[in-house]
Amino acid sequence: MRPNGFRWLATLRRHPAGLLLAVQLLGVLLYPFMEDTPAGRALFNAFGVGVLSLVIWVVRRGRTTDWVAWALALPAVLATLTANFLHLPALLPFAQLLESLLYFYAAGGLMFYMLSDHHVTTDELIAAGATFTLLAWAFAFAFAACQAWLPGSFGIGVDPAHPRSWLELLFLSFSLLSGVGLSDIAPATSVARGLTMLAMFAGVMYIALVVSRLIALAAARRQGS
């Protein structure tokens, strides 16, 4: 009989998307404590590198091409570290754009994985949640890059001229993808409006195509058992 530690490792190997989902949801709770101090921002960068590593692990699980993920992740990490340690903030939007593309790529890989057969497994159900968070992070990074290149792209009732924080942009992304519409942040430029419309479209199509299909297959399996 395997020790508990080995069983946990085996479970993680079978369900890497579950670990990614848990880490990203943990990040939602930790981000408010990371934004206001230099130490917190350093921790935020380290946390982001860890999440990127998990994303690459999940991409491999999703049966997509590894070199594409590495080609996006390595320059993104390098640009982020260079921008923060050498005080070159102009590099951050490029890093954010690369991270956005990596998250979109990983989300696409997981969606192909979920749509590749006609059976619903526990791993696919976990992947459904991880894919949603990947899309949320992808659009949040896209919003951050847009705001850096076009200041004032996202406004808010309080201090509208101040750039929105990462957590605010992630909150906007979750609001748009879920269709809840509870965000108090509004796009103020044409490019920002275009990105928010794409986020709304992606959220609706994800629920319509992926989630509804998994629910239908799960119901069919339950009726057949």
Span 188-205, pLDDT tens digits? 899 999 999 999 999 998
Residue with more model confidence, 166 or 66? 166
What would the pLDDT profile of 57-111 be if each residue is shown by its tens digit?
Answer: 777 665 555 788 888 988 998 998 888 888 888 999 999 999 999 999 989 888 8
Tell me which residue has tokens 């057969």: 117
159 pLDDT above the threshold of 50: yes
Q: What's the Cα-to-Cα distance from 59 to each of 42, 69, 102, rounded to whole Å?
A: 26, 7, 9
- pLDDT in the model for residue 1: 45
pTM above 0.85?
A: yes
Helices 66-85/92-114 angle, 10° precision: 150
Residue 178 has pLDDT above 60, yes or no: yes
pLDDT of residue 202: 94
Q: Greater confidence, 137 or 182?
A: 137
Task: Encode the chain in three state secondary structure.
Answer: CCCHHHHHHHHHHHCHHHHHHHHHHHHHHHHHHCCCCHHHHHHHHHHHHHHHHHHHHHHHHCCCCHHHHHHHHHHHHHHHHHHHHCCCHHHHHHHHHHHHHHHHHHHHHHHHHHCCCCCCCHHHHHHHHHHHHHHHHHHHHHHHHHHHHCCCCEEECCCCCCCCCHHHHHHHHHHHHHCCCCCCEEECCHHHHHHHHHHHHHHHHHHHHHHHHHHHHHHHHHHHC
pLDDT interval class at 12 (50, 70, 90): low
Contact 104, 97 (CB under 8 A): no
Q: What is the pLDDT of residue 157?
A: 62
pLDDT in tens, 109-146: 888 877 776 777 777 788 888 899 999 999 999 999 99
Domains assigned to the chain: 4-224 (1.10.287.70)
* Higher per-residue confidence, 222 vs 29: 29
The span from the CA of 128 to the CA of 121, in Å, is: 11
Q: Which residue has the higher pLDDT, 45 or 224?
A: 45
User: Rounded distance, CA 37 to CA 84, Å?
Assistant: 13
Asked whether the predicted pLDDT for residue 5 surpasses 60, the reply is no
Residue 203 pLDDT? 92
The mean predicted confidence, pLDDT, of the chain is 82
Question: Helices 122-149 & 92-114, crossing angle to 10 degrees?
Answer: 160
